[in-house]
């Protein structure tokens, strides 16, 4: 005599003319033994058991598969995907790997990041790149900062001769940059004694200003004895300076 079993799913007896299935003790009607996720019959399907019940292979793959960092859907084995930074949280469907701003796909293109967001090169340049003061174009790499403003290295040039100043010594006058040579020849005052430019380059030199003219300290000497008259009582005529002692002998 056949034993009558009770279906675990609906608690109804499994009749003689019904096909039953058994898994780890309990019995089911063949049509009641289903995947707890998609409710597909598992009578002729591969399945696995989890805490919540039995599950078909497809649903199990979806549950165990990593999630796309963009759409949060499962990334199934064999599907096209992009792994960013080698981390699970950086895994995305290939179609989901898009620019944060323009939403265009960048899976096979170069890209840049800002925080946790990913941008195509063009959008990153528009939103974050520094703009050259001279050329009004974005600086992608390198560049020069002058007076807290960005310049392309090739755009940062001497205001007089147009020679590039990046990596060289330069100075400024009236908010314009000059190379050392141009500053000496076109901007710097000339010493009244030697007619050489008075600059801050090279060996530091004090400057003496006397009756509207400027002198290097080492040039401000008595015409007769050649001793320095800086900080001394002097006697001057239209062309020369004399110390007080030499002036008495004139």
Where are any strands of DSSP class E within 106-212? 111-114, 117-120, 130-131, 138-139, 144-146, 149-151, 170-173, 176-179, 207-210
CATH code for the domain defined by 130-185: 2.10.110.10
Answer with the residue of higher pLDDT: 14 or 108. Answer: 108
* Residue 2: closest CA among 242, 10, 13: 13
Residue 162 has pLDDT above 90, yes or no: yes
CATH code for the domain defined by 65-128: 2.10.110.10
What percent of the chain shows pLDDT beyond 90?
A: 5
Most confident of 11-20, 48-57, 86-95, 229-238: 48-57
Average pLDDT, the chain: 77
CB 180 within 8 A of CB 169: yes
Cα–Cα distance, 141 to 136 (Å, whole number): 15
Answer with the residue of higher pLDDT: 204 or 227. Answer: 227
- What is the distance between the terminal CA atoms of the chain, rounded to a whole angstrom? 152
Cα–Cα distance, 223 to 106 (Å, whole number): 78
Tell me what the mean pLDDT of segment 155-173 comes to.
Answer: 89
Tell me what the mean pLDDT of segment 235-247 comes to.
Answer: 75
Cα–Cα distance, 133 to 151 (Å, whole number): 6
Instruction: Look at residue 128 and give its three-state secondary structure.
Output: helix
Answer with the residue of higher pLDDT: 204 or 75. Answer: 75
CB 193 within 8 A of CB 215: yes
Cα–Cα distance, 111 to 122 (Å, whole number): 9
CATH code for the domain defined by 188-248: 2.10.110.10
pLDDT attached to residue 51: 75
Q: Which part of the chain has CATH 2.10.110.10?
A: 5-63, 65-128, 130-185, 188-248
CATH code for the domain defined by 5-63: 2.10.110.10
């Amino acid at each position: 005599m056949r034993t009558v079993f009770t279906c675990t799913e609906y608690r109804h007896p499994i009749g003689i003319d019904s096909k039953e299935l058994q898994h780890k003790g309990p019995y089911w009607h063949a049509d009641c033994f289903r995947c707890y996720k998609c409710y597909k019959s598992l009578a002729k399907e591969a399945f696995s058991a989890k805490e919540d019940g039995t599950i078909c292979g497809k649903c199990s793959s979806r549950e165990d598969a990593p999630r796309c960092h963009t759409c949060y859907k499962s990334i199934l084995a064999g599907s096209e995907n992009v792994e960013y930074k080698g981390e699970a949280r950086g895994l995305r469907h290939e179609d989901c790997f898009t620019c944060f701003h323009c939403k265009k796909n960048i899976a096979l293109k170069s890209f840049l990041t800002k925080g946790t967001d990913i941008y195509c090169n063009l959008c990153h340049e528009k939103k974050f790149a520094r703009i050259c003061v001279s050329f009004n174009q974005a600086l992608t790499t390198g560049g020069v900062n002058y007076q807290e403003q960005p310049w392309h290295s090739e755009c940062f040039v001497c205001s007089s001769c147009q020679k590039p100043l990046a990596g060289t010594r330069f100075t400024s006058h009236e908010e314009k940059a000059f190379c050392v040579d141009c500053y000496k020849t076109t901007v710097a005052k000339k010493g009244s004694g030697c007619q050489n430019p008075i600059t801050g380059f090279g060996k530091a030199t004090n400057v003496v200003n006397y009756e509207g003219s400027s002198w290097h300290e080492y040039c401000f000497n008595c015409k007769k004895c050649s001793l320095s008259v800086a900080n001394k009582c002097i006697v001057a005529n239209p062309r020369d300076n004399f110390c007080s002692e030499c002036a008495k002998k004139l």
